[in-house]
Amino acid sequence: MLTWTLIFLVVAIIAGVLGFSGIASTAGGFARVLFFVFLVLFAVSLITGQRSF
């Protein structure tokens, strides 16, 4: 999940540099949502004591 977040972040940065503000905004939004989902799942994993590598 963190990998997808980084991919969307890179897409947003590249689109922003090239001037595609709509695509950059959408990709940045997806990256933000995925990052928060990752944080919630990570916190739940820490609380429950389950680890998956």
7-53 pLDDT per residue, tens: 888 999 999 999 998 989 999 898 899 999 999 988 988 888 866 66
pTM over 0.75: no
Confidence band (pLDDT; 50, 70, 90) for 5?
confident
Tokens of 30: 């997806």
User: In 3D, which of 30, 25, 23 has the Cα closest to residue 5?
Assistant: 30
User: Which pLDDT score is estimated for 39?
Assistant: 92
Cβ proximity of 34 and 15 under 8 Å: no
Structural contact between residues 34 and 4, judged by C-beta atoms closer than 8 angstroms: yes
CA atoms of 17 and 24, how far apart (whole Å): 9
Contact 45, 29 (CB under 8 A): no
